[in-house]
Amino acid sequence: MNFKKVFDFLEDLNANNHKDWMDEHRSEYYEIKENLYQWLLEIDQELINIDPDYNPITSKKAINRINNNLLYHPHKPVYKDHFGMGLDQKPEKSDFYIHIGIHECFLAGGFYKPKKSQLDSIRDAIDYNGDQLVELMNDSEFKKHFGGLMNEERLIKPPKGFSKDHPHIELLKNKSFAVQKSLNKKTITSTKFKDSILETYSVMLPFRRYFNQAVSV
């Protein structure tokens, strides 16, 4: 996969962020998207070997639309400055996400701003067995890759039904339970990028399994 070509396209798109330019370069966009999809299929086969519960991608919808949703975000540019790709997709299951952009590149996974029913189940799991989650997150490899949870919006007060003295109250205040590993262009354009993805997936897997089990109960 020629990721230098991906970055070059995104740079040009960012400098010419309008429909006329995209129409002139749409064949190039489709070619890059097709190459990305074929690359994702290769990653798929590797991840199946790592995770017996992995759900292979079934369509090119694994690659997010490059158009911004201007209906809800009218002040955003017409097109995004990145390609976002979701793997291991299944309803009621945590994400594994690859983000390649000109301003930010990262791997991420978990439950990012989950719906209320999922969030309630996650908090119940932490209430029941939060020590296991703490142990997972204190693992040296986990901390080396991710540090901790993504720093997203949190509750100021304990969630309803939980005491401020709960041993895991700081975890319970989170509204998202996801982690992220930043990447740089040098890594992405190197021959080691696939290995980096597989390693990160493996390190993240116990964390994601914890939450997959939580929302399945």
Supply the CATH number for residue 166's domain. Answer: 3.30.930
The tens digit of pLDDT for each residue in 119-153 reads: 999 999 999 999 999 999 999 999 999 999 998 88
Q: What is d(CA 179, CA 171) in angstroms, rounded to the nearest whole number?
A: 13
Least confident of 39-43, 125-129, 152-156, 158-162: 152-156
Q: What average pLDDT score do residues 104-119 get?
A: 95
Strand order in the sheet with 82-87: 82-87, 95-101, 105-111, 177-182
Domain range holding 51? 3-216
pLDDT of residue 90: 84
Band of pLDDT at residue 217, cut at 50, 70 and 90: confident
The tens digit of pLDDT for each residue in 49-106 reads: 999 999 999 888 899 999 998 877 888 899 999 999 999 988 889 999 999 999 999 9
Structural domain count of the chain: 1
User: Does residue 12 surpass a pLDDT of 90?
Assistant: yes
Answering whether pTM is above 0.75, one says: yes
Tokens coding 47: 């991840």
